[in-house]
Amino acid sequence: MGSLSKAFRALGDPTRLRILKVIAAARLNVGEVVSLVGVAQSSVSHHLTKLKALELIREERLGSYTYYSLAVDKASALWPLIELTRASEDTHGDQARLSELLRRRDDVQTLNEKLLEPGQSWQLWSAALSTLLPRLDVVDFGCGTGTLTIELAHWAKKVTAIDKSESTLARARAAAAREGLTNITFLAADLTDLPMPAQCADLVVSSQSLHHVEDINAVLAEGARLLKSNGRIVVLELFPHDEAWVKQRLGHAHLGIAPEVLEEAMRKVGLEPFVQRVPWARGSQSPFKAFLVTGTRARKTPGRSKAA
């Protein structure tokens, strides 16, 4: 009885409960637990030590990793606690991330594609094909830490990389400097009101940024305003989903955006859209699936005008 009440008390800590819940579902190493619950490794290690001391989980060494798995079976007095843990509410979306992690781990094809460099590397293919593109003036909406910005800068004439977060821009700047790229201008600004002249861009890209902004029409209007005649905007967005935790944890303003809503919003600002509904995680259990919409700026846009 003593060990049961001790274990109950220990699981009063919500992070520890989340960790036990994911380990009850799969054998995991520390790095994997960190990626699932999103707290510092030192804190995860502390919780794992505590759970091990309570004999709720066990540790085993496999290759260069230490894995943790459930140490309790149905015959144990602690089993009701495991059942309660499993039934506890998943308010942070840990189980969706766990399904994705297990899918990747088991996906032999994905592993093969990673191993079979360079012929089947999609990153290399995209780099190779991008050399066929004309040297365009590109604007990257919500550039984040700059992964896409850097790929664009390898072939573009110049890239203006915009983000509202100064600290994120600093990381993007450092990544670009490491690659020796000198054709990127970083700009801290709000996508709904950009201090940039009209018709300065051939291409605007927005990769998973629009769902962060309440007023998507205002962002698209700015995109349309920046584009030269016949310029293109390419938006990568998430299909609508039910993962409400992303609002608080990741700052999303929308739970995905329906392609039809995006198309309609584009038309309103004078962009002619066509939609490629390409799910990125074909056949996976992930609730996050992406699609692309490309819009072309009509010769005259009804968008707001600002001095060029």
Ligand X SMILES: C[S@@+](CC[C@H](N)C(=O)[O-])C[C@H]1O[C@@H](n2cnc3c(N)ncnc32)[C@H](O)[C@@H]1O
Beta carbons within 10 angstroms of residue 15's beta carbon: 15
Helical axes 259-268 vs 216-226, angle rounded to 10°: 50
CB 273, min distance to ligand X, A: 19
Distance CA 158, CA 182 (A): 9
Establish if 212 lies at the interface with ligand X (CB under 6 A).
yes
CB 147, min distance to ligand X, A: 5
Establish if 256 lies at the interface with ligand X (CB under 6 A).
no
Establish if 147 lies at the interface with ligand X (CB under 6 A).
yes
Stretch that binds ligand X, among 10-18, 24-32, 140-148, 275-283 (CB under 6 A): 140-148
Helix H or strand E encompassing 220? helix 216-226
Distance CA 238, CA 300 (A): 29
Question: 10: which 2 tokens?
Answer: 């220990």
Tell whether the torsion through CA atoms of 211, 216, 220 and 225 is positive or negative: negative
- Paired with 296 in beta bridges are 232, 272
Site string for ligand X, 213-232 (x = CB under 6 A): x-------------------
Choice from 58, 154, 164, 289 touching ligand X (CB under 6 A): 164
Taking the least distance from each CB to ligand X, the nearer of 85 and 209 is 209
Taking the least distance from each CB to ligand X, the nearer of 202 and 222 is 222
Taking the least distance from each CB to ligand X, the nearer of 121 and 165 is 165
Beta carbons within 10 angstroms of residue 279's beta carbon: 13
Establish if 143 lies at the interface with ligand X (CB under 6 A).
yes
Stretch that binds ligand X, among 36-44, 82-90, 125-133, 159-167 (CB under 6 A): 159-167
CB 288, min distance to ligand X, A: 11
What is the size of the binding site for ligand X (CB under 6 A)? 18
Establish if 165 lies at the interface with ligand X (CB under 6 A).
yes
Establish if 270 lies at the interface with ligand X (CB under 6 A).
no
Distance CA 126, CA 280 (A): 15
Taking the least distance from each CB to ligand X, the nearer of 164 and 306 is 164
Establish if 295 lies at the interface with ligand X (CB under 6 A).
no
Establish if 144 lies at the interface with ligand X (CB under 6 A).
yes
What does the CA dihedral 175, 178, 181, 185 come to, rounded to 10 degrees? Answer: 40
In sequence order, what DSSP letters do the residues of 232-300 get, joined into one string? EEEEEEEPP---THHHHHH--SSS---HHHHHHHHHHTTEEEEEE---SSTT---S--EEEEEEEE-SS
State which of positions 180-209 bind ligand X (CB under 6 A). 190-192, 207-209
User: Rule CB under 6 A: which residues touch ligand X?
Assistant: 142-144, 147-148, 162-165, 168, 190-192, 207-209, 212-213
